[in-house]
């Protein structure tokens, strides 16, 4: 059996590390001014103009049911966030750390949820591998 290598980008939410498959990431930008939209779900922080494109900014802390302790500084913008739509989606995160290569054998999957792909052990701690927006219920903005 051939081992599959995947590149992931690590980011931080409430001092805990998470990662997402780099293939889904279009870019990382600094958080700018967000325009709040009335009557939207609580996980939608607002929208921002990103090079002429309106991008919906989602708070993954709310999607993942985490404490919303501190304000994020960076936005991970996803490519093709919804395959049936041209909507651009970004996640507001506390910090972005690194891109790293992982192998299948590094990933444990003790808990299966719609948001979690697996857990990676790193330096005595865990990095939670999460799914990008197109595979999550509740993050579609259509």
Express each pLDDT in 89-119 by its tens digit: 999 999 999 999 988 888 887 676 778 888 9
Residue numbers of the domain that contains 77: 5-135
In a domain, 126, yes or no: yes
Give SS3 for 74: strand
Q: Using only the alpha carbons of the chain, give its radius of gyration.
A: 15
In a domain, 141, yes or no: no
Q: Is the pLDDT of residue 125 over 50?
A: yes
Residue 89: what pLDDT? 93
In a domain, 140, yes or no: no
Residue 42 CA to residue 11 CA, distance in Å, equals: 22
CB 34 within 8 A of CB 130: no
Largest CA distance in the chain: 51
In a domain, 53, yes or no: yes
In a domain, 86, yes or no: yes
**Residue-wise pLDDT tens digits, 65-84:** 899 877 789 999 998 644 45
In a domain, 142, yes or no: no
Residue 69: what pLDDT? 76
CATH of the domain at 75: 2.40.50.180
**Residue-wise pLDDT tens digits, 1-45:** 445 689 999 999 999 999 999 999 999 999 989 999 999 999 999
In a domain, 30, yes or no: yes
Number of domains in the chain: 1
Residue 105, both tokens: 């054998």
In a domain, 120, yes or no: yes
Give SS3 for 35: strand
Neighbouring-strand partners of residue 93: 74
């Amino acid at each position: 059996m051939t081992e599959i290598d995947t590149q992931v980008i690590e980011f931080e939410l409430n001092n805990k590390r998470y990662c997402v498959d780099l293939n889904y990431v279009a870019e990382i930008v600094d958080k700018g001014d967000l325009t709040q939209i009335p009557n939207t779900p609580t996980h939608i922080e607002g929208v921002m103009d990103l090079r002429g494109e309106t991008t919906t900014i989602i708070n993954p802390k709310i999607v993942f049911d985490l404490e919303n302790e501190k304000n994020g500084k960076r936005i991970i913008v996803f490519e093709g966030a919804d395959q049936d739509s041209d909507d651009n989606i970004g996640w507001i995160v506390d910090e972005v750390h690194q891109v790293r290569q992982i192998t299948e054998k590094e990933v444990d999957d003790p808990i299966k949820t719609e948001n979690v792909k697996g857990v990676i052990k790193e330096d005595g701690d865990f990095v939670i591998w999460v799914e990008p927006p197109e595979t999550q219920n509740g993050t579609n903005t259509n």
